[in-house]
A and B are shown apart, each in its own frame.
Chain A
Amino acid sequence: MKTRELINLLASDGVAERLRPVHAVLLAAAGSLVASALMFVLLLDPRPDIRTAAASAPFLLKLFLVAILAFTALGILFRLARPEGVVGPWSFGLLGSAVLLAAAVAVELLTLPPSIWIMRLMGVEPLACLASVLALSVLPLLVFLVLFRQCAPGDPPLVGAVSGLAAASISIMVYLAHCPNDSPLFVVVWYMAALLIVVLAGFQLGKRVLRW
């Protein structure tokens, strides 16, 4: 086929896809929040002490740490949703999150006697916590992937992975209303384990479903 013939064809096609990348990311974030909230309502209950906990420092610290992760992930996705987008300075956001988490864990370990470190690490029902985060993250990850299929992501596995990060961190923020474990050590091990699983799932799925 001559290129002129292809151009004739394309110029005749007036139907345009409507979803712009910026809107795709916003819609995905909102959709993820709704999806994980829905799963929360179906599967879990708020922690009994939610009213007092919600104002407590440990809870707010957890919320803050995860919110920064979610914010960074979305910031990266706004850029990567375009074909020419690169992560750029947002990688420092990820580094910053890691540093903050490490600092919170360090403070906890230094202010508490070693004899209760293991107890803090294991907390209350860690595997249920991990499973719950995974359950809450499934729909959000799918929401991100479905919406990115309408875009043109330059690096499908990377976009999939960061979508996993966004989906998991948004889901964790919702999950915080249930989780009775306030220890940063617990968060780093169990929440981050769940997050890593979702990121890996996003990476593998992105490779397959985000091609265009």
Chain B
Amino acid sequence: MLMQAALAGDSSAYRKFLVQVAPAIRAMVRRKLAFLAAPRCDAEDIVQETLLAIHLKRQTWDTTRPIAPWVAAIARHKLIDSLRRSGNGRVDISVDDLPEALAPAIEVQSRGDLDRLLAHLQDRPRSIVKALSTDGASVKETAQRFGMSEGAVRVVLHRAIRKLAALYRTKDK
């Protein structure tokens, strides 16, 4: 199982797992948003928040149990958080579904919740995050670009990811 290999340290298995699980989460979130008549355009932000939570809490998956309920539970939790934040009062329903439908599974663009949170990071972590995410650079390449060791880049990255998750929580206040 991909996630098991991922937890054992196989990072390409982990990447494959995330790529596979994202569309499944998206389908579930869209279904629930439609059922609740909530704005469909929020879906990808919720998918991204879910992936972030899956990443930070991946050690909470019991490897002897099926992974689907675990993923579903995290997605549900983040969906509820998102609905609570938006207060269900939004009326802007997205009409541009067609581009989403045509986009390959992980090329879907969110409305930018994570991007807004990135603004709260300091310059160095933000640049490193941009390098690793948008530019798709490897840790080694990023380390060279910033004149840091790989280990230092990893530390900054991990802290930045944790900070992003914490920022989601403060968004509620």
A interface residues with partner B (beta carbon < 8 Å): 1-22, 81-84, 151-152, 154, 211-212
Interchain CB contact under 8 A, B161 and A11: no
C-alpha gap A24/B54 in the complex (Å):
18
8 shortest interchain CB distances as A-B pairs: A84-B73, A83-B73, A5-B133, A11-B15, A152-B57, A4-B106, A9-B133, A15-B158
**Which chain B residue lies CB-closest to A19?**
B59
C-alpha gap A18/B95 in the complex (Å):
43
Determine which of B22, B74, B114 lies in contact with A83 in the assembled complex, contact meaning CB atoms within 8 Å: B74
Interchain CB contact under 8 A, B154 and A14: yes
Interchain CB contact under 8 A, A212 and B73: no
B interface secondary structure, majority: helix
B interface residues with partner A (beta carbon < 8 Å): 7, 9, 11, 14-15, 18-19, 22, 44, 47-48, 51-53, 55-62, 69-70, 72-74, 77, 81, 106-110, 112, 114-115, 118, 129, 132-134, 136, 138-139, 154-155, 157-158, 161, 165, 169
Take A11-B15, A16-B58, A17-B56 as given contacts and tell me if A3 and B47 are in contact as well, using a CB distance cutoff of 8 Å: yes
User: With a CB–CB cut-off of 8 A, which chain A residues contact B69?
Assistant: 84
Interchain CB contact under 8 A, A6 and B158: no
**Which chain A residue lies CB-closest to B108?**
A3
Interchain CB contact under 8 A, B51 and A212: no
C-alpha gap A152/B52 in the complex (Å):
13
User: With a CB–CB cut-off of 8 A, which chain B residues contact A2?
Assistant: 106-110
